[in-house]
Chains A and B, each alone.
Chain A
Amino acid sequence: MSGLRYLRCLEGITRREALRFLQQRGRFFSALVRPLVWLLIFASGFRFVLGVSIIPPYQTYVMYEEYVVPGLCAMVLLFQAMQSSLSMVYDREMGSMRMLLTSPLPRWWLLGCKLLAAVLVAVLQVYAFLLVAWFWEVRPPPLGYLLVLPALLMAGLMLGALGLLLSARIRQLENFAGVMNFVIFPMFFASSALYPLWRVREASPVLWALCHANPFTHAVELIRFALYGRIEPVSAAVVGGAMLVFGALAVLAYDPAIGGIGRRGAPPNPA
């Protein structure tokens, strides 16, 4: 099987994701509105309550809106990853996942393509959000918009791989509500997305340790530092490591010999 066939497969999956995204405009607007509600309402309301001292990568005091933007970028990636995971569960229940999994190309490659395609769509959403934030006078250095791209890709791949893993373990669409309660909310709120961790430490050292162990915190910090032209090596290592672990587990979960679809239960319509 030549390398070209692998690239054609990647191109085809990416095109399909893009087409689906373009056709579901409501999805785009809700993906954009969600962080904007946080930025325009929540952050404005809390700007005088939640003061932020000088912490890296910031050189000076920053308004709360500015602090919260990298966390909201990560939130877009997190929700898109879970949306993509939900869509995988839906595709599996409806049957269209079978078209993907019966391709002669290796399954790890198919899943990787699916993951990358979803992340590219998510990154576009982040840039749309950053554009609106610019009009709200949250303006990182111009170079930051470029340097944040690899950070967004890494964070997106990590969260997307987690979503992929979850999609393999969730048997029914209805069970996805649990993901909201047990994955999205804890990951988002137990992180540095909305408040700096030194404030959390003052309140509870245990919670602080949890926030530190949360890979989402490192995704937020990776984006925050990159947006201001800096690399945060610990966060980069944690995000990269978590991306590999989640990705490997997802590939195993979809492996026909170990997981596969329908392995643990009868097919949806046994005949």
Chain B
Amino acid sequence: MSVVAPHPLVAASHGASGAAPPALEVSGLSHAYGPKHALHDVSLRVMPGEFTVLLGPNGAGKSTLFALVTRLFDARQGSIRIFGAELRRHPGQALAQLGVVFQQPTLDPDLSLRQNLAYSAALHGLSRAEGRRRAEQELARIGLLDRAGDAVRKLSGGQRRRVEMARALLTRPRLLLMDEPTVGLDAASRSFLLGHVRRLCREEGLAVLWATHLIDEVDENSRLIVLQEGRVRASGGLRDVLAEGGGGTLREAFARLTDEAWKGGA
């Protein structure tokens, strides 16, 4: 039983569940770095309350997809909608509903946890008082309220990841993007992060796109998108992906889906 109050925006969206647009809708997205194609005609959907795993080996295009969805730069082709708001046309409206944990750390190691979160709150236009209140709330949720005044550099890798997540949730996003959030973490920290995010999906209706190359982060309730060399190889529930990958375990199916020779014959 959770004692955490649902995020107001998420709660509001539940009221209009029938007509709710997808949390994230990517259509025909292609991008290249010079002559090197990173994404080819990628289309995907993440619905509110859904935990979707974006599974792909290193270099599959996951980080590029995240960079485009967070509008670090615009795609050459295709469109991205966040809760119906087209990212290029209404970036403010779209980004206001988005929380992101990037693969690279974004916290300032010399500032305290509280100062880092206050900065993030200010970037979203929250008042100091509101920023402080939410920072304390989020730090309490991740069990680090007692470290609020410590510099980030004093934290362990796992604790820093938790703070990154608290930062991403500070603005009450309805869609959370997490790019390889468990890389370099021990088993306990990984388990905490996964458990916390899954609980937010289940209890608060948060939509999550979780990028990883680790198959053991997929559970049977997850939706899956398999990305390889910038193309979506398979998507759907676990059974759909297993069927597309020729059956067996997910590890075997994933290996087949991302194997060049198998693709050639498919």
Residues of A with Cβ closer than 8 Å to B?
A: 1-2, 4-6, 8-9, 11-13, 15-16, 19-20, 23-24, 94-96, 98-106, 110, 256-257, 259-271
> Are the C-beta atoms of B38 and A266 separated by less than 8 Å?
yes
> Are the C-beta atoms of A96 and B36 separated by less than 8 Å?
no
> Are the C-beta atoms of B115 and A19 separated by less than 8 Å?
yes
Query: Cβ of B204 < 8 Å from any Cβ of A?
Result: no
Digitize B35-76: 1 where CB-to-A-CB distance is under 8 Å, 0 elsewhere: 010100000000000000000101111111001001111100
> Are the C-beta atoms of B108 and A16 separated by less than 8 Å?
yes
Q: How far is the CB of A255 from chain B (nearest CB, A)?
A: 9
Query: Cβ of B111 < 8 Å from any Cβ of A?
Result: yes
> Are the C-beta atoms of B72 and A15 separated by less than 8 Å?
no
> Are the C-beta atoms of B74 and A256 separated by less than 8 Å?
yes
> Are the C-beta atoms of A271 and B59 separated by less than 8 Å?
yes
Interface residues of B in 122-159 (CB under 8 A from A): 122-128, 131
> Are the C-beta atoms of B73 and A99 separated by less than 8 Å?
no
Query: Cβ of B15 < 8 Å from any Cβ of A?
Result: no
Interface residues of B in 13-41 (CB under 8 A from A): 33-34, 36, 38
> Are the C-beta atoms of B122 and A15 separated by less than 8 Å?
yes
Question: Which chain B positions have C-beta within 8 A of A267?
Answer: 63-64, 67
In angstroms, Cα B118 to Cα A13, docked, is: 10
> Are the C-beta atoms of B122 and A11 separated by less than 8 Å?
yes
In angstroms, Cα B87 to Cα A256, docked, is: 11
Q: How far is the CB of B188 from chain A (nearest CB, A)?
A: 23
Question: Which chain A positions have C-beta within 8 A of B120?
Answer: 99
Contact of A105 (CB < 8 Å), options: B34, B36, B67, B123:
B123
Query: Cβ of B107 < 8 Å from any Cβ of A?
Result: yes
In angstroms, Cα B98 to Cα A173, docked, is: 30
> Are the C-beta atoms of A1 and B111 separated by less than 8 Å?
no
> Are the C-beta atoms of A104 and B124 separated by less than 8 Å?
yes
Question: Which chain B positions have C-beta within 8 A of A23?
Answer: 110-111
Given contacts A19-B111, A266-B38, A271-B60, contact A12 B106 (CB under 8 A): no
> Are the C-beta atoms of B70 and A98 separated by less than 8 Å?
yes
Question: Which chain B positions have C-beta within 8 A of A102?
Answer: 70-72, 95, 98, 100
In angstroms, Cα B96 to Cα A270, docked, is: 25
Among residues of B, the one whose C-beta sits closest to the C-beta of A97 is B106
Among residues of A, the one whose C-beta sits closest to the C-beta of B91 is A104
Among residues of B, the one whose C-beta sits closest to the C-beta of A99 is B106
Question: Which chain A positions have C-beta within 8 A of B59?
Answer: 270-271
Total cross-chain contacts (CB, 8 A): 146
Among the interface residues A24, A98, A110, which one has the most CB atoms of the partner chain B within 10 A? A98
Among residues of B, the one whose C-beta sits closest to the C-beta of A7 is B125
Q: How far is the CB of B210 from chain A (nearest CB, A)?
A: 13
> Are the C-beta atoms of B103 and A96 separated by less than 8 Å?
no
Query: Cβ of B256 < 8 Å from any Cβ of A?
Result: no
In angstroms, Cα B74 to Cα A259, docked, is: 9
Among residues of A, the one whose C-beta sits closest to the C-beta of B126 is A8
> Are the C-beta atoms of A256 and B123 separated by less than 8 Å?
no
Contact of A8 (CB < 8 Å), options: B56, B62, B72, B125:
B125
- 20 CB contacts below 8 A, A to B, read A1-B92, A1-B125, A4-B125, A8-B126, A11-B128, A13-B119, A15-B122, A16-B108, A16-B119, A96-B106, A102-B95, A103-B95, A104-B96, A106-B91, A260-B71, A266-B33, A266-B64, A270-B61, A271-B60, A271-B62
Query: Cβ of B105 < 8 Å from any Cβ of A?
Result: yes
Q: How far is the CB of B213 from chain A (nearest CB, A)?
A: 7
> Are the C-beta atoms of B73 and A260 separated by less than 8 Å?
yes
Q: How far is the CB of B250 from chain A (nearest CB, A)?
A: 19
> Are the C-beta atoms of A105 and B125 separated by less than 8 Å?
yes
Q: How far is the CB of B19 from chain A (nearest CB, A)?
A: 23
> Are the C-beta atoms of A268 and B72 separated by less than 8 Å?
no
Q: How far is the CB of A110 from chain B (nearest CB, A)?
A: 7
In angstroms, Cα B110 to Cα A15, docked, is: 14
> Are the C-beta atoms of A104 and B34 separated by less than 8 Å?
no
Q: List the 6 closest A-B pairs by CB distance, nearest first.
A: A12-B122, A5-B125, A95-B104, A260-B73, A104-B96, A103-B123
Contact of B67 (CB < 8 Å), options: A13, A15, A257, A262:
A262
